[in-house]
Amino acid sequence: MPKFIKYGLYTARQQSADRSPRLGLGAKSPVLAELLPYTSLDFITRATKILKTRKENMKRFEAADQKNHLQNEPQRPVLKNYKLARRALPLQKELNNGIEYLYHDLLKRIKQMYTALPNAYDRTVVEINGKTDPYDPDGLYTLYTPHFYYHVRCNYVEKYEVLYQFHECPFEADIRAWFKRSLSPMYAFEVNTIKDFPKFYRGVLAYQPKERIHILYYSTT
C-alpha cells in the first residue's frame, strides 16, 4: 500500500479517536469500531478517485499537447527520391522509365473498365500526383477506388516499384492477368496494409481535395 494511503488511514483513525471522547465513545466502543472501517474505506475510495482523475487529466493534457504540437509544427519540403534516381545506372533508369510507362498504361485500362459500373460511388476514383507533393519523398502516382489501391513509388535505392491491394474488386481477375503479363514480381508487390478498406476509402474522400476526386463517366460500350 502506498505511504500516503497508509498515512491517510492513520490520520483518519487518529482524528476519529480524538473526536470519540467528545462523542462519548471510548477507545473500545463498538460504535467507534464500526465507524473506523467505514472511515478507512471512504478514504481509500476518495484517494483512488483522485488518482484516477489526475491520471485522466494528464492523459488528456498530453494528448492535447501532442495534437497542438503536430498542428503547429511547420512542414518542410523533402528531397524527392525520383530526382535522386536520375543518377542511377543507365539500366536502372531504363527499368524505372518502363515501370512508370506500364503504370500509366494499366491505369488507363483500369479506369476504362470502371466506367462500366452503374453505381456512381463505385466509379468514384482518387488520383494523386506524388511528384508535385513536396512532402512525400517516395510517392509518384496513386489511384484509389472503392475496391482497389494502385501506387507506384521510387524507393530509397532509386528503384521504381508498384504496390497494389484489392478489396472485392469486380475486375480483380483481369487486373491480375495484366500484372502477370506486364510487371515482373521483382517490381510489383501485393500488399495488405489497409485493414478496413471501406472505412479507409471514405477517409480518403473526406481528406483529399476536390481536384483529385473524379467520378468516371458511365459507359456501357
φ/ψ of residue 159, rounded to 5: -120, 125
Question: CA 154 to CA 163: how far, in whole Å?
Answer: 11
Q: What is the pLDDT of residue 40?
A: 56
Q: What is the pLDDT of residue 176?
A: 95
Extract the C-alpha cell encoding 167.
Answer: 478489396
Eight-state DSSP code of residue 218: P
Q: What is the pLDDT of residue 136?
A: 87
Are the C-beta atoms of residues 206 and 126 closer than 8 Å to each other? Answer: no
Neighbouring-strand partners of residue 129: 141
Question: CA 159 to CA 99: how far, in whole Å?
Answer: 10
Cα angle 189, 167, 194; round to 5: 65
Question: CA 125 to CA 87: how far, in whole Å?
Answer: 34
Eight-state DSSP code of residue 207: H
Kind plus residue range of the DSSP H or E element containing 4: helix 3-23
Taking the CA atoms of 157, 154, 177 and 94 in sequence, report the sign of the dihedral they define: negative
**Residue range 86-142, pLDDT digits in tens:** 888 999 999 999 999 999 999 999 999 999 999 999 999 999 999 998 888 899 999
Q: What is the pLDDT of residue 76?
A: 75
Q: What is the pLDDT of residue 64?
A: 52
The segments of the chain whose pLDDT lies below 70 read 1-75
Extract the C-alpha cell encoding 176.
Answer: 491480375
DSSP for 70-125, written as a single string: HHHSPP-----HHHHGGGS-HHHHHHHHHHHHHHHHHHHHHHHHHTT-SSTTTTEE
Mean pLDDT of the residues in the chain: 79
